[in-house]
Structure formats: structure tokens, C-alpha cells
């Protein structure tokens, strides 16, 4: 069977993160949504996504295809049903299609003609950007249970103080010394070759993915995920960093999501609670207006390749697009379009040529090449987001 993860109707609600990746490659919990499906399906997947992303994330069309809505995170129960799907059958959660069997993945189908299989179990679904941090605890616990089932943690140094040690798991090569790890409120997972330097306070749920680093003296409250090759310090609360991004100095990050290749300058802070304690509204690309999140705590959403200077401040519920560079004093507005350069005193357009020079240098520091494929995606994002830049 050939398995394909498709973006579905929520793709625009998950911008700016889906400007540069399919829905399947959003990280929530320990793993990306794709990694979760592949682990439970015991199979590789391809992607049905936007045309401009399809060269990097190509669709593989086989003679027998099961297409799965990538906004749903898998469970063993739903996977057992999907594995048994036959031609012209579809699995529904109420009125939502979870998965369907198609002979041709590129052909438009009329789902109403399919035999309907109703799924009554619970499924975590990522619909809006704020779901990534607000549902991270549920996803992290599920991933922890799946990854560590039947396995034994690598040894944990005796220099550490552990609380609920049975819920702390280190992969091979993970290092932690002279730190306090408290897994009372959720598990703590350290990926392969990751490192927590000395003098850190970590309260789960917490995931530090492969080769990521927590520098000295950090205070981290769960549920928080630091993706592969990330580097963090300061105070972090209930946030998700996809990978290859740095918040390497003091400053506060709370109820927030950072994409890949972001850099947060020293002593930068975001607000995650309004002074009047009102529910937070957040920019939504799908409706092109600020929408109610229903959350009292909601911080910063930052797309790939965006960066801040030292002492940058963000208001509650701020959305930053792709390749933005924010560096002047004061609070910038709470929606900053992609390829913007400036801050509270105003913005100009951050031209792709300059943006790509910075991206090339940053990625090279992690041993990754900024290639023509990546440039083509970002150039397309630049064109897509022109309408939001009135400067």
C-alpha cells in the first residue's frame, strides 16, 4: 500500500509555518506529524501539497493509495482501521474525512460515493497555529509512550537531581549534568546526542530532540519541545521550536511556536498574557484578519528564517511571517508580514537576495546547504505575501 499525507482544508490556517512545509512536517510533541504516521504505519509516506512545495516534497502515486489528512495525529486504533481500507472506502470522524483509498492519488474523487466508515475514538488534530503549543502536552505524552515502549533509558548521570525518574528517558549519546529534571507533570525525553548543560531547571513535559542543546542556567516549563539542532537558554514556557533555531540567551519565550532557522536575540521577550486578562486574538492567514483563539495565554508565532536583534519585545499574540528581520526598539505591530525589515518605527521590504545571503550562512553553520530548491520556495513565498507588505 502507498500512503500519502495531504494538507487538507486547514493548510491556510497553519500559515506561516506551512508557507515552507506541508502540514505533515509540523512538529508537535517529540516527532513531526509525518514521523508519527510513518512509525505507526511501519511505512514511508509522500505528500500531496502545494505545487511550489512539491519538488522538495514530491507525491508518489502508486496503483493502490491511501490518502490521509495530515492534520490528524495518528493512534494505534485509527491506524489499525486504515491498514484494512479497501477500494472506495473512507474513514470519517463525524463529517471530516480522515483517510480514503484511491487508485489514482492525483485524480479528484467524490467522497460521497465512498463507503463510509465512522471512527468514534479520540484523535488529536492540528487546525490552527496555536494548537501546536496548546496541544503539545497531549502529543508529547503520546510520542513518549510510543518511542520508549519496551525500551530502557541510557544511563543518567548521578550529578543530577531527578523527580519521577521513571518518566525520564535518554537516547544514546544524550548528556545532562548538574541539573534538576522534574517529570511530575509530564515526561522528559532527551534525543540522540542532545545536551543539557549544567545548572538547568527542567519541568516536564519536555522534549529535547536530536543534537539540540540547552545552555547553562535555563528555566524551562512544559509542555515544551526543542526540535533537532535547536539551541536554547533563558526562560521558556509551553513552547515548540521546530528545529535548527536558536534562542540562545536570556529572555522569555512563552506559549509560542518558532519555525526552523529562526534566531532570537539576547534579552528578547514576548508577552503571553494581556494586561486586562482578555482572551487573545491572533492573525489568521485563512481569513486575513485577527481571530479569537479562545486562549488567555498566547505568545509568538514566528515563521522560518525570521530573526530578532537584542532586546526585542513582542506583544501578546504576535504573528511573524517568513524571513522577517526585526531589530529596532519598541513593540512592532502584532502581525509582521514575510520579508519585512525593521520594527516599531516602521518596516521596509527585506529583499530575497539579502535574506538568502543570511540563510546560506546560518544553514552552513549547521552543515546544511541552502540550495536552489530552498531559494525557489522562498521566492514563491515572497511573491505570495506581497499583498501584506504596504511599504
Q: Are residues 113 and 47 in the same domain?
A: yes
24 belongs to a structural domain = yes
Contact 208, 202 (CB under 8 A): no
> Last residue of some domain: 95, 118, 141?
118
Radius of gyration in angstroms for the set of CA atoms belonging to the chain, rounded to a whole number: 21
Q: Are residues 112 and 136 in the same domain?
A: no
pLDDT at position 108 is 83
List the beta strands (DSSP E) in 11-61. 45-48
* 103-116 per-position pLDDT tens digit: 888 888 888 889 99
Instruction: Give the 3-state secondary structure of residue 327.
Output: strand
* 124-142 per-position pLDDT tens digit: 999 999 999 999 999 999 9
- Burial environment of residue 149 by CB neighbours within 10 A (0 to 12, 13 to 18, 19 or more): exposed
381 belongs to a structural domain = yes
Contact 214, 220 (CB under 8 A): yes
The segments of the chain whose pLDDT lies below 50 read: none
pTM for the whole thing?
0.96
pLDDT at position 126 is 98
Q: Are residues 73 and 142 in the same domain?
A: no
Count of structural domains, the chain: 2
Instruction: Give the 3-state secondary structure of residue 115.
Output: strand
372 belongs to a structural domain = yes
- Cβ-proximal residues to 288 (8 Å cutoff; 6+ apart), any chain: none
Domain that holds residue 49: 2-118
> Last residue of some domain: 118, 144, 161?
118
- Burial environment of residue 98 by CB neighbours within 10 A (0 to 12, 13 to 18, 19 or more): buried
> Last residue of some domain: 62, 96, 118?
118
126 belongs to a structural domain = no
pLDDT at position 153 is 98
Contact 334, 302 (CB under 8 A): no
pLDDT at position 372 is 95
Q: Are residues 177 and 248 in the same domain?
A: yes
346 belongs to a structural domain = yes
Query: How many distinct helices (H) and strands (E) make up the chain?
Result: 6, 34
Amino acid at each position: 500500500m502507498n500512503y500519502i499525507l495531504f494538507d487538507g482544508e486547514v493548510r491556510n490556517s497553519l500559515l506561516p509555518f506551512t508557507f515552507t512545509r506541508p502540514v505533515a512536517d509540523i512538529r508537535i510533541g517529540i516527532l513531526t506529524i509525518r514521523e508519527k504516521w510513518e512509525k505507526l504505519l511501519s511505512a514511508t509516506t509522500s505528500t500531496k501539497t502545494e505545487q511550489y512545495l512539491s519538488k522538495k516534497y514530491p507525491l508518489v502515486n502508486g496503483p493502490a493509495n491511501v490518502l490521509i489528512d495530515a492534520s490528524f495525529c495518528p493512534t494505534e486504533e485509527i491506524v489499525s482501521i486504515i491498514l484494512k481500507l479497501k477500494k472506495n472506502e473512507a474513514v470519517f470522524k463525524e463529517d471530516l474525512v480522515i483517510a480514503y483509498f484511491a487508485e489514482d492519488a492525483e485524480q479528484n474523487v467524490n467522497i460521497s460515493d465512498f463507503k463510509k466508515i465512522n471512527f468514534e475514538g479520540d484523535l488529536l488534530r492540528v487546525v490552527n497555529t496555536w494548537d501546536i503549543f496548546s496541544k503539545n502536552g497531549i502529543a508529547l505524552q503520546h510520542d513518549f509512550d510510543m518511542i520508549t515502549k519496551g525500551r530502557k533509558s541510557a544511563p543518567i548521570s548521578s550529578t543530577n537531581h531527578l523527580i519521577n525518574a521513571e518518566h525520564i528517558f535518554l537516547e544514546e549519546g544524550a548528556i545532562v549534568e548538574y541539573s534538576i529534571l522534574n517529570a511530575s507533570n509530564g515526561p522528559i525525553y532527551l534525543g540522540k546526542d542532545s545536551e543539557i548543560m549544567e545548572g538547568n531547571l527542567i519541568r516536564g513535559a519536555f522534549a529535547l530532540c536530536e543534537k539540540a542543546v540547552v545552555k547553562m542556567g535555563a528555566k524551562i516549563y512544559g509542555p515544551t519541545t526543542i526540535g533537532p539542532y535547536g539551541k536554547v537558554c533563558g526562560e521558556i514556557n509551553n513552547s515548540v521550536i521546530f528545529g535548527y533555531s536558536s534562542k540562545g540567551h536570556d529572555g522569555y519565550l512563552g506559549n509560542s511556536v518558532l519555525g526552523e532557522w529562526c534566531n532570537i536575540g539576547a534579552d528578547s521577550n514576548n508577552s503571553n498574557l494581556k494586561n486586562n486578562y482578555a482572551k487573545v486574538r491572533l492573525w489568521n492567514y485563512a481569513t486575513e484578519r485577527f481571530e479569537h483563539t479562545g486562549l488567555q495565554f498566547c505568545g509568538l508565532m514566528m515563521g522560518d528564517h525570521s530573526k530578532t536583534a537584542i532586546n526585542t519585545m513582542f506583544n501578546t499574540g504576535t504573528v511573524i511571517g517568513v524571513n522577517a528581520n526585526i531589530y529596532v526598539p519598541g513593540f512592532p505591530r502584532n502581525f509582521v508580514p514575510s520579508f519585512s525589515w525593521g520594527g516599531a518605527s516602521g518596516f521596509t521590504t527585506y529583499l530575497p537576495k539579502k535574506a538568502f545571503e543570511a540563510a546560506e550562512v546560518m544553514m552552513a553553520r549547521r552543515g546544511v546547504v541552502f540550495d536552489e530548491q530552498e531559494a525557489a520556495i522562498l521566492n514563491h513565498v515572497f511573491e505570495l505575501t506581497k499583498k501584506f507588505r504596504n511599504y
